[in-house]
């Protein structure tokens, strides 16, 4: 049932994008093919891409890999006045634009221009899973209504009805990891999808893949692109620092969450992330 729902949801998005892109079929066939290829491969650009056209920036967001810090930073750069983080993520008064708001042809031009900075950030898969569980599941009662709990309940119904549920039950970390392992290739939720899959959109070649663990160093590339003086002025009201972002998963050592068997299973399931981004299979200290 969940696979069927995802199929129809993806196809609704594809139909909507094809309608919006139709005028470019003849006026800009390259732009039309660009978006048609994205949709054919199951990507939904509006869900993962934020654009700051004035500064020629395209950010492909990986949830739980400094995405909140980056979006707040880009929002300040774009003269956004959103106060709440949720508003920034929903692009409400944030100054950030989705590809569809930019427009099919203009976004294609920006995405393929040599002077655009296309970037993303990734994170150690072990720490990313801990952060996701702590932020989205820890302590939450397992009843319908919460978007993330709803995903778990659907997984439980489809796989193992003996898994915990109910108002007095919460999701143990190992059970969450098993769900993440089983579904990380299904694009059920980007918070635990393969990072390699999220940033591998056809036609968008990334110029920078930074790491959450070296955020302050890697983000300098973004600052340099827009001009340090400009960014410094816009950032006066907040820090481009990973300190608050990393706190969730630093409540205790990452090793406290995994035994050797669970770590091996995570490494097998997320092997592409470990290999592509150079993370060790050993649990981080």
> Tens digit of pLDDT for each residue in 164-191?
999 999 999 999 999 999 999 999 999 9
The set of residues, in sequence order, having a beta carbon less than 8 Å from that of 26 and lying 6+ positions away, is: none
Percentages (nearest 5) of helix, strand, coil residues in the chain = 60, 5, 35
Highest-scoring range by mean pLDDT, 5-14, 137-146, 232-241: 137-146
Q: What is the pLDDT of residue 208?
A: 98
Residue 32 vs residue 3, higher pLDDT: 32
Is it the case that residue 13 has pLDDT exceeding 60?
no
Residue 15 tokens, joined: 């139909």
Is it the case that residue 30 has pLDDT exceeding 50?
yes
What is the percent of the chain where pLDDT is above 70?
A: 84
Dihedral angle computed from the Cα positions of residues 114, 220, 74 and 42, in that order, rounded to the nearest 10 degrees: 60
- For residue 255, what pLDDT band results from cuts at 50, 70 and 90? confident
Residue 225 vs residue 79, higher pLDDT: 225
CA gap 122, 125 in Å, rounded: 9
How many helices (DSSP H) and strands (DSSP E) are in the chain? 18, 4
Q: What is the pLDDT of residue 15?
A: 62
Q: What is the pLDDT of residue 215?
A: 96
CA gap 137, 172 in Å, rounded: 9
Is it the case that residue 21 has pLDDT exceeding 90?
no
Residues 135-158 have a mean pLDDT of: 96
For the entire predicted model, the pTM comes to 0.88
> Tens digit of pLDDT for each residue in 193-248?
999 999 999 999 999 999 999 999 999 999 999 986 555 545 534 444 444 444 44
Residues 69-81 have a mean pLDDT of: 90
Residues 54-66 have a mean pLDDT of: 97
- For residue 12, what pLDDT band results from cuts at 50, 70 and 90? low
Rg (CA), the chain: 19
Residues 130-159 have a mean pLDDT of: 96
Question: Do residues 88 and 82 make contact, with C-beta atoms less than 8 angstroms apart?
Answer: yes
Q: Sketch the domain layout of the chain as residue ranges.
A: 2-123+195-246, 127-191+250-277
The crossing angle, in degrees rounded to 10, of helices 147-159 and 173-183 is 80
CA triple 189-92-50, angle to 5 deg:
55
């Amino acid at each position: 049932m969940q696979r069927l729902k995802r199929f129809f949801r993806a196809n609704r998005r594809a139909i909507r994008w094809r309608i919006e892109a139709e005028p470019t079929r003849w006026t800009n066939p390259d732009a039309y093919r660009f978006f048609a290829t994205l949709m054919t491969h199951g990507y939904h650009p509006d869900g993962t891409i934020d654009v700051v056209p004035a500064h020629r920036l395209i950010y492909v967001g990986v949830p739980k890999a400094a995405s909140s810090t980056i979006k707040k930073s880009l929002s300040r750069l774009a003269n956004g006045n959103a106060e709440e983080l949720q508003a920034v993520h929903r692009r409400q008064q944030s100054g950030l634009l989705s590809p569809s708001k930019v427009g099919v042809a203009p976004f294609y031009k920006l995405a393929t221009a040599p002077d655009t900075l296309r970037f993303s950030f990734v994170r150690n898969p072990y720490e990313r899973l801990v952060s996701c569980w702590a932020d989205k599941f820890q302590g939450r009662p397992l009843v319908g209504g919460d978007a993330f709990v709803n995903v778990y309940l659907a997984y439980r119904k489809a796989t193992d009805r003996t898994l915990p549920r109910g108002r007095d039950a919460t999701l143990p970390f190992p059970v969450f990891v098993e769900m993440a392992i089983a579904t990380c290739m299904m694009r059920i939720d980007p918070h635990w999808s393969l990072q390699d899959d999220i940033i591998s959109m056809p036609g968008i070649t990334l110029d920078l893949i930074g790491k959450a663990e070296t955020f302050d160093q890697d983000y300098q590339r973004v600052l340099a692109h827009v001009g340090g003086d400009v960014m410094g002025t816009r950032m006066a009201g907040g820090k481009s620092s990973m300190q608050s972002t990393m706190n969730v998963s630093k409540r205790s050592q990452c090793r406290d969450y995994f035994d050797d068997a669970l770590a091996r299973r995570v490494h097998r399931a997320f092997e592409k992330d470990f290999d592509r981004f150079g993370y060790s299979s050993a649990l981080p200290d």
